[in-house]
Amino acid sequence: MPKLSTWVNAARLRTLPLSVSGVLVGTALAGFYGSGNLTIFILALCTAIGFQITSNFANDYGDGVKGTDNEERIGPKRVLQSGLLTRKVLKRGIIVSIIVNGILVVSVVYLAFGPENLGYIFLFMVLGAFSIWAAIKYTVGTSAYGYRGLGDVFVFLFFGLLAVLGTMFLFTKNISWPAVLPAISIGALSTGVLNLNNLRDHESDKASNKNTLVVQMGYEKGLIYHTWLIGVGLLSLLIFIVLEFQCYFQLLPFIVFIPILLQLKRVRGTRIPSLLDPELKKLAIGIFLLSALFYLGNNIFCNFE
């Protein structure tokens, strides 16, 4: 039986802070507009983490089976690639994680809407099922969308729009149009993390026929694309704060703008892909801190004024 440390390795803990950023921002928006529930918040966090772990298991399996994870890959060794888990055992792990995700989705949706809102329950169950499908189909199967340059679109949708606005809707049962701006912000910045990954791996991805956007557009254009993602992400959040300004604590996320912009400058000047590996973690942590400060400023501190 595989050791717990092996499953922890497969879960890729360093990716988990990014997965909860959308929930933090969505909860902050709900609190900003006057709604909140601690139990829903905790279940939503657990659900987001569950989706990410399922995605990480599936990515390990899909890339391992296809041979994309090989000796030329720059990032950390995967469990299937390293022989720590067999295909059969890893597939079982994926199935178990899917079951856990299903339980979490049912729990948070029922608690948020109750039996009197069956339409909302059905809608979010469908979205939950679609989220699980997206987590798996990124690299698994002959039609894996991550191999066709569509990973960026799905990350933007699921880490940004769905995570932020879906979480907000669990509390408020409605969505205000300014809330779309922070959702765009988290979506664009999260896509930036994926783009850094694709910039780092573009040579091995190309050799393995994994046609990410970076493989299709080239490394230099991938750097320009990255600049736009970071720019749109920060600008969208800035516009929201200007439009919905109520207290100075809302300015807390600006603290993280500086290191993110400094990192962007480093990335733009990097021509050796392997040097981008530590930048993934830094950007992911930066997005998490940005989201946490947004949560504190809009959901906690402003309510005390």
Query: Which tens digit of pLDDT belongs to each residue from 188-209?
Result: 999 999 999 999 988 888 887 8
Indicate whether 236 pLDDT > 90. Answer: yes
Give the pLDDT score at 262: 95
Which whole number is the average pLDDT over 252-261? Answer: 94
Give the pLDDT score at 70: 53
Indicate whether 75 pLDDT > 70. Answer: no
Indicate whether 76 pLDDT > 90. Answer: no
* Percentage of residues in the chain having pLDDT higher than 90: 54
Which of 11-15, 146-150, 244-248 is predicted with the least confidence, judged by mean pLDDT? 11-15
- Residue 158 CA to residue 164 CA, distance in Å, equals 9
Indicate whether 136 pLDDT > 90. Answer: no
Indicate whether 68 pLDDT > 80. Answer: no
Task: Tell which wins on pLDDT, 216 or 4.
Answer: 216
Indicate whether 123 pLDDT > 80. Answer: yes
Indicate whether 178 pLDDT > 80. Answer: yes
Which whole number is the average pLDDT over 79-97? Answer: 80
> pTM value?
0.91
Indicate whether 304 pLDDT > 60. Answer: no
Indicate whether 110 pLDDT > 90. Answer: yes
Which of 34-48, 49-63, 117-131 is predicted with the least confidence, judged by mean pLDDT? 49-63
Which whole number is the average pLDDT over 50-55? Answer: 90
Which whole number is the average pLDDT over 273-284? Answer: 89
Give the pLDDT score at 296: 93
Phi-psi region of 83 (alpha: psi -120 to 50; beta: other; left: phi over 0): left
Indicate whether 24 pLDDT > 90. Answer: yes
Cα dihedral 29, 128, 283, 189 in deg (nearest 10): -60
Task: Tell which wins on pLDDT, 247 or 26.
Answer: 26
